[in-house]
Structure 1
Amino acid sequence: MKIAIFVLADMFVPLLLSTGNCLEKRHAHQVRYLNFLPHDHKLLAKNTDQLYPRNLETLDGTAQMSENIFSQDEVQTMVGFMQAKHGGSLSEWYGRVNTVARYVRHFIDEHQPQLFVVWNGQDHIGQVITALSQRQHIPVVYLENGYFANTLQADLAGVNASATLASLDYEAVLAKAQAGSVSTDAEAPPFLLRPLTRTQLASIALAHRANLGYYTQYPEQRGFSRIKTWKIKRQRAAIPNDQVTLPEQFAFVPLQVHDDTQVLLNSKLVHSVEEFFETVHAAIRRTCGADYPIIVKEHPEDLGRYDYTALRRKYPDVIWLRKFDIELLLDRANMVFVINSSVGLQAVGRKKPTVVLGESFYSKPEIAFVVKDLAELDAIVHRAAQGVDEMMSIRIDRFLDALNRTLFVKGTWKHPACIRTGPALAERLLALYERNPQLEGGNAALSHPATANG
């Protein structure tokens, strides 16, 4: 079978190369990698000879084509999140999307992949791949971080609120899990990542500075700086750990990343982290009283890049934490309030009453206290304050087992541990391909991989 893997960013290079290595050496499939950014393309080129496009500047001859595959309206819909995050004009994004789309169509026509793999899929290139693959009836597997430590997501419909399980009720999730399997612990074939040298990094940086049209060519790079990232990491490291004695009982409100796609795209009741906090704060005060302790913790990724000072000053009745052990907070909390973050599922796993305001694959009334209408919030908070009963506890255990068999894969994208993730992720990709309902003859293709490779 021919498999195409789009590598979204350099941080995922080790994981995806290791997975591709397993698909080739253990399962005898052909793997091709796609990437469209200078630094990441150079890193991939140093580690595989199956990188496409071969020439990033000419896009193997497609860069000079003038045909536009997607209209301005289609592009505006596709890049809404990316444009809000990175800026740039619609005309820049229109050019970028169609330039990439022309190449992806050329790649599909030339290489005939039978399976595409992308990370998350909400970015503009992921959406281009999805749209063009759908036209050719090519299944796409979407990857993302899992909701527990050392887990990843892999699904044919999408990730987070777009995952297959999100559209299924509780019983349907359990039924689907009967056909799934827990990921294996097979040993990965040998793989050694070769990083870029300082000279190569300097050459890439110089080429960037010399290209006056760089951000028009790559609008998704606007606002990105390795030096800026390094400075933010230094700032975070300098923030002291919070010293606080936890109250005997409290409601825990962990904040999500302020510009997370989960908040921007999958939250209909509240439209920002600030609105979420103020909504649940008011409900807790109305339901539990003015003196009930509330603890808020900022997301680590927002430290140094988003300021909640004004909100902290507005609510002096709240214990506000920046650096504190989240595991301890989850263990000690009486209730947890989330939009749809991974921390919400971690709280559910601890059998904590978890009030969920956003869309997620775990926002199911059998295992959480799900808010569909803000008019019901006070009543739901009152029920959550009573705790998780025995029946809900049993349902939670069954649901978590189902997740491990259908959505989650044991492993991480972080190097070097990700090298050991390759075998399990490769097996899950193939299992999803076999279970793809739109595919006819998929099992036959996998039964004779050497023949399929030609």
Structure 2
Amino acid sequence: MSSVLLLAVNRHQETYFRKIAAAATSLNIRILHDNRLPLIFGSWKISDYERQVLEEIVQLRLDTLAQESPGYRLSYFRRKRLTLQYRLSVWWFYLRARSYFGQNCFDLVGLWSGMKWRQRIIRQLLLPAETRTLFFENGAFPDTTTVDPEGVNFGSSIPDDPVFFLSHKPLKKKELPHRLSVRKASHSRKTEGNQLLPAEFCFVPFQVDSDTQILEYSPDIQNMEQLYKLLCDTADLSDGRLPVFVVKEHPSSKNDYRHLHNRHPGVVFCNQEETQRLIETARCVVTINSSVGFEALLLNKPVITLGKSFYALDGLVTSVQSAADLVTACQNPQPADPSLRDAFLQYLYSEYYVHGCWRTASDEHTAAVVQRMERILKNA
């Protein structure tokens, strides 16, 4: 019987993983919460390579926090204090995890996302080459879950070749959803900045500055203020040839953008409007790599991307890197190729994503996850 470890870093993940384990009769699944890793047994020594990776992870944690701070920077003394704090917690976690994995072997290890610092330590330093991996994340469609052997988002196993989708025949076509999930604002100021929605506009969803989508997969735009500046530059460069850009702040963002409201006539904020209405009434959707871009594809709206994304395929979206390119793309937005769009969405909805929300995790959902695990282990 194959042995599986599912590592949780919060109680919601632990609850979900326990439901999966309860559904598995052909797998020996062990659930481990990171705060229940055993104390260290064995050597405290680390190699130069281990030290380098751990320091990179400390820096990533600092960069993530800076993305949520005023001016996208940490004060000198705060950075010094946090560097010591993060270094201690990173090294302590690593030594405990190294001790645990040194005494326990698994055929498959499942992690949530795989991009956060604890999961990154395990991915980069602790898993033998022969150990299979599995990564969980929210699915791009409503009520779906990502269960991927390689990663999530741009790092997933979703093919990046349009030919794959055009030549792939789904086992069974499913009707695609037409309503999007509604995200509630976690900060009251996200309901401020609701200017009058123009008759014609290009919709630009802000993203969470500290999210891995920005930190890892947005090489040209490091934060939402840089995105705002690009929109202003594009509006100025267009010399009135473009409709205004309508921005909606991400409901989970900790950053305060009120100083950007009403700064430029070509960029307005409409935070109280429903995302689906903004997509449906916009000329096009401009995004770095937000899930809103995928939702726009689902609603058959032209999409322009500025970063790396699993849906940024030739024929599906228009990818740009400069204000001049953005002017051209917004003047004449190109819709997705109908055949490619249908094939891409059908593959993801019918075969790639596991149906069902992980937070509720029905019996049907957990059975499908276990089946996915068994298939990955069988193909090892």
Q: TM-score, normalised by structure 2?
A: 0.82
Tell me: CA distance 1:377–1:316, structure 2 relative to 1, closer, same or farther (3 Å): closer
- Structure 2 counterpart SS, 1:165: coil
AA of the residue aligned to 2:300 = K
Question: Deviation string for 1:76-114 (max 9, x for gaps)?
Answer: 223332232356544544443343333333333433210
Match of 2:115 among 122, 129, 152: 122
Confirm or deny that 1:306 pairs with 2:255: yes
Equivalent residues of 2:237, 2:323 under 8 A apart:
no
Counterpart in the other structure of 2:198: 247
CA distance in 1, matches of 2:88, 2:192: 46
Question: Deviation string for 1:7-34 (max 9, x for gaps)?
Answer: 12223222222112212x3xx2111122
CA distance in 2, matches of 1:256, 1:402: 26
Aligned ranges for residues 287-326 of structure 1 at < 5 Å? 287=238, 289=240, 292-302=243-253, 305-326=254-275
Counterpart in the other structure of 1:191: none
Tell me: CA distance 1:433–1:249, structure 2 relative to 1, closer, same or farther (3 Å): farther
Any stretches of 5+ residues in structure 2 without a counterpart?
A: 66-78, 175-184
Confirm or deny that 1:142 pairs with 2:135: yes
RMSD: 3.0
CA distance in 2, matches of 1:259, 1:102: 27
- Structure 2 counterpart SS, 1:314: coil
Question: Deviation string for 1:276-309 (max 9, x for gaps)?
Answer: 132134325544826723211111112xx32111
Counterpart in the other structure of 1:227: none
Question: Deviation string for 1:230-270 (max 9, x for gaps)?
Answer: xx95x53x875887764332111111112111112110121
Aligned ranges for residues 362-381 of structure 1 at < 5 Å? 362-372=311-321, 376-381=325-330
Give the C-alpha shift of residue 353 in structure 1: 0.9
Aligned ranges for residues 304-453 of structure 1 at < 5 Å? 305-372=254-321, 376-384=325-333, 387-388=334-335, 392-405=337-350, 407-414=352-359, 416=360, 421-435=365-379, 439=380
AA of the residue aligned to 1:397 = D
Give the C-alpha shift of residue 273 in structure 1: 1.2
CA distance in 2, matches of 1:81, 1:406: 34
Match of 1:172 among 155, 164, 171: 164
Equivalent residues of 2:147, 2:353 under 8 A apart:
yes
% same residue: 21
Question: Deviation string for 1:394-419 (max 9, x for gaps)?
Answer: 211111112235542222232x4566
Q: Which has the larger radius of gyration?
A: 1
Q: TM-score, normalised by structure 1?
A: 0.69
Answer with 100-109 or 246-255: which moved more: 100-109
Counterpart in the other structure of 1:273: 224
Tell me: CA distance 1:239–1:145, structure 2 relative to 1, closer, same or farther (3 Å): closer
CA distance in 2, matches of 1:287, 1:364: 26
AA of the residue aligned to 1:147 = A
Greater RCO (CA < 8 Å, at least 6 residues apart) = 1
Aligned ranges for residues 88-99 of structure 1 at < 5 Å? 89-99=82-92
Counterpart in the other structure of 1:3: 4
Tell me: CA distance 1:406–1:68, structure 2 relative to 1, closer, same or farther (3 Å): farther
Q: Which has the higher helix share?
A: 1
CA distance in 2, matches of 1:287, 1:105: 56
Equivalent residues of 2:232, 2:264 under 8 A apart:
no
Tell me: CA distance 1:287–1:349, structure 2 relative to 1, closer, same or farther (3 Å): farther
Counterpart in the other structure of 2:153: 160
Equivalent residues of 1:165, 1:173 under 8 A apart:
no
Tell me: CA distance 1:315–1:374, structure 2 relative to 1, closer, same or farther (3 Å): closer
Equivalent residues of 1:161, 1:360 under 8 A apart:
yes
- Structure 1 counterpart SS, 2:145: strand
* Count, aligned residues: 354
Question: Deviation string for 1:60-86 (max 9, x for gaps)?
Answer: 443x74222553322122333223235
CA distance in 2, matches of 1:431, 1:106: 29
CA distance in 1, matches of 2:170, 2:102: 33
Any stretches of 5+ residues in structure 1 without a counterpart?
A: 42-52, 54-58, 184-231, 440-454
Match of 1:82 among 43, 58, 61: 61
Give the C-alpha shift of residue 139 in structure 1: 1.4
